[in-house]
A and B are shown apart, each in its own frame.
Chain A
Amino acid sequence: MENYGVYTARLAPKIDGLAPGHRACVGCGEALAVRIACKAMGENIIVSNATGCMEVVSSQLPVTAWDIPWIHTLFENAAAVASGVESALKVMVRKGRRPDKGTKAVAMAGDGGTSDIGLQALSGALERGHDLLFICFDNEAYMNTGIQRSSATPFGASTTTSPAGKKSIGQKTWKKNMPAIAVAHDIPYVATASPSYPFDMMEKVKKGLAVNGPAYIHVLSVCPTGWRSAPDLSVRLGRLAVQTGVFPLYEVENGKYKLSIDPSPLRPIQDYLKLQGRFRHLSEGMAKQIQDRVINEYEKLKQKCTCS
């Protein structure tokens, strides 16, 4: 990350692909993330959006918050639709039916539309090598339908389908490592990003858009509604996720791992957990378990960064 960015917000492009007036919740980290991504992507794109929070808050007939060409069809197929967009652009330019303006195909989905129901379509699109950018806006559960757990929900989090109770610890499984799955497709660019680090995110989105071939960016999007956190803490929670090592920021360019920011020494996990109602029930033992896992995973990531 280039640090000057933190102090020079005015360097951000003025254009807004996602216009104000949408219906996102107060403090929505995803709306912020999408806005930042759109600033970085500019106007020469076509977006395929999966069903989910972002689609619902931005596009109720007869109005729209999108100032860029945007298509929503279904939940699990954002990557497949973007494959069609990319192929159509390619052939129409080749046949002289569209000017060659370098228009890029982009797909956006939430964590469910990426790592659960949309995983197959995403894998297919990445494997086929389409020149497209897929951005996962991960708010760690099915927030649009009322906070049900997904495979991206972190261990211990209480959701409406993994509620904490006398006989339940909340989410029983560890968060699926979606960026690693993207890396396994041997694509030119994979990155994690956070709207709490807006200039780092913008740079990554620009890079992902510029590479020739598939790119995948995984964005942690704080959800005050689902995380049971104060709406004014969304940006801070995004930072804490990075500083505690829960959500490290890194890039994988042509298989080469690189940490974007090394927050070592990591802040204690409780700094992050205690601000969120979804972890309120956690026992000390469970918090310890999470702390150990985070340190372990972070060390593994650092290994990859030095090895590759």
Chain B
Amino acid sequence: MGERIGIEVSLAIAEAAKMANVDVIAAYPITPQTHIVEHLAELVASGEMDAEYILAESEHSAMSACLGSSAVGARTFTATAGQGLELMHEVLYVASAMRLPVVMAVANRALSSPLNVWGDQSDLMAVRDTGWIQIICENGQEAFDHTLCAFRIAEDQRVLLPVMIHTDGFYLTHVVEPIEFPKQDEVDRFLPPYQYPLPLDPDKPVTMGAFAPPILYSEAKKAQEVNIRASKKIILDHWAEFGKAFGRHYHPIEQYRTEGSKTLLMTLGSFGETAMTAVDKMRNEGKDVGLLKLRLWRPFPFEELRQAVGNAEVLIVVDRALSFGGPGGPAYSEVRSALYSKKKRPRIVGFIGGLGGRDITVAEFEGMVKRGVEMVKAGSEQEFEMFGVRE
């Protein structure tokens, strides 16, 4: 085992990329991701990291450069947030469809307008369907661990998909946490060198990115869907290997005090930590409340969700993003749809909160549970609401 170091989470993510021996970084600065790319620049400048650093003129070009680099067979990393992720949007689809295992850290941030640089998961939800494997972190240790795991998952020849590691902007990226760093030789054992099966190479010319007419496009998309669905088992295998090597075990849905819970709260990302405190408090008061934390966003863990929900009667899902004019928070509506075919399913209530950097406190989580249970008891047809908004 390595050592425990007090370090800002952004810096820890950059250190993970360094320990992964990344070959090429292509990035553009944007708050709240900047500390990641700044620290990477320092690591390259000081010679601690041997990588090419492309200081792109936009996120669109940063991700485009990642495509080229990954296709040549270089281990490729980038980081972005909010508007930057949106500017990359069309490029993201290409990375996954062309099976280029780029790894990207996302410091989740609100989307303009009004301009807001603070933590929020609207950017995360906007790239839901881009075909990337998406993992949501709850604390700094997870951000470090999942960045390392991401390379192993992405580059597995059965997977070959890009991976996004989501970390709440400011709430996680800018806090200092004690993080356990493995030793370099342990990382090297866990993460073999990147071998792309068919790289761009003059000795063996390949054509990448040919266009597909209607007669082939659907087949290409089906292949992509089969591939990402099949990746779930492989992701779990790699996480199990990580657990064996480093002693920290990760699951698609983390459960906290769910035993016998009639009411379950569900969070994504850093709010899981606050929600745990709220659950502890409610449990101490004799309320049978438990917590589910959604870690694997894509591929979506359907079976694990159904199992985790068990016999709960009320499930309260908290989103930090809004689907305007739609069925509620994006995670809420997906969870609802995933549980629809379950014979005995809980009533599901959605809350939207924590937008644009606003905090959700322990008391507010308690309030959501109370309000959620009330809504279900009253048979309310309004199944989601924005929480803590001033009228």
Contacts and interface: CB of A to CB of B under 8 A. Distances in A.
Interface in B45-92: 50-52, 54-58, 60-62, 64-74, 76, 90-91
Nearest to B65: A84
A66 B205 contact: yes
B73 A124 contact: no
B91 A128 contact: no
Most chain B CB within a 10 A radius of its CB, from A74, A81, A89:
A81
B389 interface: no
A84 B26 contact: yes
B208 A71 contact: yes
Nearest to B62: A80
A60 B208 CA distance: 11
B125 interface: no
Nearest to B212: A61
Contact of A73 (B64, B201, B205): B64
B149 to A, nearest CB: 22
A60 B213 contact: yes
A21 to B, nearest CB: 13
A103 B56 CA distance: 22
B209 to A, nearest CB: 4
A91 B55 CA distance: 15
A90 interface: yes
B91 A84 contact: no
Contacts of B1: none
Given A73-B64, A81-B68, A120 B211 contact: no
A88 B57 contact: no
Most chain B CB within a 10 A radius of its CB, from A46, A72, A87, A124:
A87
Interface stretch (A93-101, A231-239, A262-270, A283-291): A93-101
A92 interface: yes
A69 B206 CA distance: 5
Contact of A91 (B60, B74, B94, B201): B74
A87 B26 contact: yes
Interface string A44-73: 111010000001100111111011111111
Nearest to A127: B57
B24 interface: yes
B307 interface: no
B207 A64 contact: yes
A83 B206 CA distance: 19
Contact of A84 (B58, B67, B220): B67
A63 B61 CA distance: 28
Q: How large is the interface on B (under 10, 10 to 19, 20 to 34, 35 or more residues)?
A: 35 or more
B259 to A, nearest CB: 49
Given A71-B68, A85-B68, A91-B51, A101 B202 contact: yes
A41 to B, nearest CB: 11
Interface in B139-192: none
A124 B208 contact: no
Nearest to A51: B211
Given A70-B207, A83-B65, A95-B23, A44 B202 contact: yes
Contacts of B66: 84
What is the interface of chain B mostly: helix, strand, loop, or mixed?
A: mixed
B216 interface: yes
Given A84-B65, A84-B68, A74 B213 contact: no
A82 interface: yes
B210 interface: yes
B376 interface: no
Contact of B207 (A59, A79, A90): A59
Contacts of A72: 208-211
A71 B94 CA distance: 12
A86 B74 CA distance: 11
Interface in B207-238: 207-213, 216, 220
A120 B70 contact: no
A71 B210 CA distance: 8
Nearest to B204: A69
A62 B70 CA distance: 22
Contacts of A83: 26, 54, 56, 61, 64-65, 68
A82 B60 CA distance: 14
B208 to A, nearest CB: 4
A84 B210 contact: no
A89 B52 CA distance: 10
Contacts of B90: 74
Given A44-B202, A71-B71, A87-B69, A62 B216 contact: yes
A103 B73 CA distance: 14
Contact of B210 (A60, A76, A88): A60
A69 B26 contact: no
Contacts of B213: 60-61
Nearest to A99: B203
22 contacts: A43-B202, A46-B202, A60-B210, A69-B201, A69-B204, A71-B200, A72-B210, A73-B67, A80-B62, A80-B64, A80-B65, A83-B68, A84-B24, A85-B69, A87-B52, A88-B69, A88-B71, A94-B50, A121-B57, A121-B64, A123-B57, A124-B57
Given A80-B60, A91-B74, 8 more contacts: A46-B200, A61-B210, A64-B207, A84-B72, A87-B54, A88-B24, A88-B70, A91-B24
Report the 10 A-B pairs with minimum CB-CB distance, sorted nearest first: A84-B68, A124-B57, A84-B65, A80-B64, A77-B64, A88-B74, A84-B69, A80-B61, A88-B72, A72-B209
Interface of A: 43-46, 48, 55-56, 59-64, 66-74, 76-77, 79-92, 94-95, 97-98, 101, 103, 105, 120-121, 123-125, 127-128
